[in-house]
Amino acid sequence: MRLLVLVLTLMPVVVASANDADVELQVKPILCITDEVTPSCDMSFLVHWQSEQSGYYCLFNDFGREPLRCWSDERMGELEDDRNVQESFSYWMSEEGGASRLATVTVEVLRMDTDDRRRRRRTRHVWDLL
């Protein structure tokens, strides 16, 4: 039971860290689940980053070329991003200019419905959990 609680607590958070630059990026939640009733997710993403070195850092995502926000001479920052999601996308941190990604986190969209009506409509077998 303790293991289950631990797993359930930790799973929704993903932390990304760049290999060379010490920037950690944390996004919560990182999974959007859609089905035929709910084809998209209205989600509020909490994005948190921190670095060992102060500097000029910008947060980007796949939806635009402009940064969501930039921080000057900061070692950490946080942003809440409300978004309607239908496809997987990424958040990433970059230094000034946005040439290289220091840390990236991907928000995954998991589609639970299917185009095959048989799969949707068939009763699960007695012990079929999946």
Partner 1 sequence: MDSARMLLACLLLTLAPQIGQADEPDAEESRWQLGIALGYGIRTNPLVLSDEIPIAVDLDIAWFGDRFFFDNGDVGFTFADNDYVTASVVGRFNSDRVFFGKTDTEFVTAGLDGTTLPIATLLEIPDRDYAGEMGIELLAGGRWGRLQLTAHHDVSGTHDGYEVHADYGRGFRRQRWYVEPSIGLSYKSAALNDYYWGVRSGEASPALPEYEAGAGVNVHARFMLGYQMTRNWRFALVAEAERLNDEAFASPIVVDRTVYGYFAGFGYRF
On whether the CB atoms of residues 93 and 25 are closer than 8 A, the answer is yes
33 is a contact residue toward partner 1 (CB under 8 A): yes
2 is a contact residue toward partner 1 (CB under 8 A): no
- Residues 51-90: x where in contact with partner 1 by CB under 8 A, - otherwise, as a string: ----------------------------------------
Q: Give the residue with the Cβ less far from partner 1, 75 or 111.
A: 111
- Cα–Cα distance, 74 to 129 (Å, whole number): 47
List contacts with partner 1 (CB under 8 A): 4, 7-8, 11-12, 29, 31-33, 35-38, 41, 108, 110, 112, 114-130
